[in-house]
Structure 1
Amino acid sequence: MRFGSRVVTVGAVAGFAVLGVAGPALAHVEVSADKTTAGAANVTLTFNGEAESTDAGITSERVVLPAGLAPASVTLVKAPAGWTFTPNADGFTVGGKALKVGTDAVWKVKIAKLPDGETRLSFKTLETYADGEVVRWIEIQEAGKDEPDHPAPLVTLKPGPSTAPTTAAPSSAAPSAEPSSAVPVITSAAPTINAEPAAAAGDGGSTWWIWVIGVVVVAAVAGFVLVRRGAAKSDRQP
């Protein structure tokens, strides 16, 4: 009986020891979203950084944003009393006075728009305690695989509506290269025809007197020649 009691006692102590070791490892930083569709707008993310230290309280939570989210698109909604929100080059930090030992850090931020086409968003988080300890929740959780020891907070999204570009309806207007059915408009001016000089246009009527004078002169010369010949014959007769 004593041996059996000792076995039970040892087993119980071992069990509690295992639970004591496993307890702190169960602490996580988790995140949830009020809208879980890719591409959704004005989404509130709620983070819960579970305290695991028994000696110091949490002083800050630094979050690295996943690809597709810009620090400028994130605004603070709620944080522990006295904590402030500070944007970083790759994310943001909320922090301030150390929380009571064992108190979880809970904060909320609003995202202007979730990335399109993404279904798994990992938010790597560095949790800092008042004694300087930093716990890095930065291991990416992969679908279908066991959870790593220090998983990064994960939001799983449903696919959003298709973002394929729509095809514009063809224009009813005929392409400019097609010939137009309208009657062509002649824009060139009619050719200018230069009028003939007035004298040239009436040559047949304006130069008749020149021909008359010529005929008269020829007739006079011919008459003169005939008269001279007649006079010459008369002088040669006895």
Structure 2
Amino acid sequence: MKASRLAAAGALAGSAVLALSAPAFAHVTVQPESTPAKGGYVVVDFKVPNERDDASTTKVEVNFPTDHPLASVMPEKIDGWKIDVTKSKLAKPIEMHGEKISEAVTKVTWTADGKGIEPGYFQKFPVSVGALPEDADQLVFKALQTYSDKEVVRWIEVQAKGQAEPENPAPVLELAAAKDGDAHGTAAGTADDAKPAAQTAAASSSGSKGGSDTTARVLGVVGIVVGAAGVAYGVFAGRRRTTA
């Protein structure tokens, strides 16, 4: 009875957690494909899920930060989507590779040529961006999601420090500290740098497996010895009882 009550309580708690966390899955988010180091370049994916069950997502607009403009913004071509890149004059020109940049991309719009993102699915929209600012810890991208029934959901609310997440949070990209010599690298260079790390992780995993196998063998031998000792003791005790 006690076990069944605990199981029921656990199931109820799990359901409550899922219920509370479910809306978070519907948010438009920005996810880097590699470490977004300050001063460097990175490919980011704007992940757009369709939480509706009666309409498709047919248009996605992502507004790029104007307080920390990005001189290089290149979206990846996606089948079934038309891409429009909007550039605007900067109030304060920025310098990149020794050249002054007076305009930058302020918005990228993806418009579906067909069905768009159907209910129960999501779509990633990759964009190569850089150079990332060296004087900021994060970048905020405000996004608008338009559905086939003309409804528009605005993911534009910025979460205040120490406050609960807003109902329609804006996608936020957290920036990592720049490493020596990596501040002005490229997205391709970052991807290449990730290969040795992956190989190291694989080697480490293999080493851990070998260590686990050795431990298992030792425990197996110990188990056999203990078992043999138990059998011997049982036989000895049985003989003593028979003699008695």
Task: Give TM-score scaled by structure 2 length.
Answer: 0.52
Deviations 1:183-238 (A, max 9, x none): xxxxxxxxxxxxxxxxxxxxxxxxxxxxxxxxxxxxxxxxxxxxxxxxxxxxxxxx
The structure number with the bigger radius of gyration is 1
SS at match of 2:124: strand
Pairwise CA distance, 1:52: 1.4
1:1-238 alignment, distance < 5 Å: 19=19, 23-24=22-23, 26-33=25-32, 34-41=34-41, 43-66=42-65, 67-70=67-70, 73-79=72-78, 81-88=79-86, 89=88, 90-96=106-112, 97=114, 98-160=116-178
Mapped to 1, the partners of 2:167 and 2:52 lie a distance apart of: 16
Q: Percent identity?
A: 33
Deviations 1:21-70 (A, max 9, x none): 984564101111223211112x1011111111111111111001112224
- The structure richer in strand per residue is 2
- Cα 1:22–1:157 change in 2 (3 A) is closer
Mapped to 1, the partners of 2:83 and 2:145 lie a distance apart of: 15
Task: Assess if the C-alpha contact under 8 Å between 1:57 and 1:103 holds in 2.
Answer: no
Gaps of 5+ in 1: 1-7, 163-238
Of structures 1 and 2, the one scoring higher in RCO (CA 8 A, sep 6+) is 2
Mapped to 2, the partners of 1:156 and 1:22 lie a distance apart of: 21
Deviations 1:100-137 (A, max 9, x none): 22221211000131112111111100011111011110
Gaps of 5+ in 2: 1-7, 89-105, 181-244
Mapped to 2, the partners of 1:160 and 1:129 lie a distance apart of: 39
Task: Give the letter for the 2:166 counterpart.
Answer: P
Mapped to 2, the partners of 1:29 and 1:99 lie a distance apart of: 13
Task: Assess if the C-alpha contact under 8 Å between 1:78 and 1:109 holds in 2.
Answer: no
SS at match of 1:136: strand
Mapped to 2, the partners of 1:31 and 1:117 lie a distance apart of: 20
- The structure richer in helix per residue is 2
Residue-pair matches, total: 145
Task: Give TM-score scaled by structure 1 length.
Answer: 0.54
Mapped to 1, the partners of 2:40 and 2:24 lie a distance apart of: 33
